[in-house]
Amino acid sequence: MGKDKLKRFAEIDTFSNVLQLDAGKPFKGEWSKGFFKNNNPVVLELACGKGEYTVNLATLFPDKNFIGIDYKGNRIWRGAKTALEDGVPNVAFLRIQIENLLDYFATGEVDEIWITFPDPQPQLSREKKRLTSPRFLDKYIEILKPGGCVNLKTDNDGLHAYTAEKIEELKLRLHIKTEDLYHSPYADEVLSIKTYYEKKYLKDNKNINYLKFSFA
């Protein structure tokens, strides 16, 4: 591990808005009251990377609590540091494996989920690792409130098509589907937030796909 990564790992240990591994478990069912000290809705960004979407959403919606989740502390460091420096209080970062979500969030505790530019896991043998595979959808339906939505924003046409197929197969409720977000009527202030990776994709003239769905 490089010196910069080691430095960042040491630094996030001191960040008040970062919880690593088991440190987040005591807040299961109590994220709003126990961690954020309010009664506001909880929104998750899964595979949040550097946390740009998490921090920008929190800035736009100060009446909601946002938790960015990723296992790579080197990435979380950037978003957590930005939130602290900019004084954004309604942001937390949780360093865990996403497959362990049910150990950290209670039934119906989460209002909304964002998945922005995840690893598409294109190989068929890695289907179960896709964040919109049935294996993960089963976890989302448990922690989401009734009617709570999942948002997928991706440059990967294959992951977009795969997710659309699962929505149809599982008879989920599709709210929005577009293969070209920025040439659609849906590119509002929220969906126009751009991550580091999205900016790179747009420079390469890649289309941006977006899906919004719920379980009821």
| Sequence-ordered list of residues with C-beta below 8 angstroms from that of 161, at least 6 positions apart, any chain | none
Cα–Cα distance, 215 to 42 (Å, whole number): 18
111 is a catalytic site residue: no
Q: Active-site residue among 4, 22, 103, 119?
A: 119
Cα–Cα distance, 210 to 113 (Å, whole number): 13
Of residues 44, 62, 64, 39, the one with CA closest to residue 54: 44
| Side-chain half-sphere exposure of 28, counting CA atoms within 13 A | 14
Q: Which amino acid is at 105?
A: F
- DSSP string computed for 112-142: EEEEES-----SGGGGGGSTTSHHHHHHHHH
3-state secondary structure of 177: strand
Q: Which two tokens stand for residue 125?
A: 């043998």
The catalytic residues are: 119
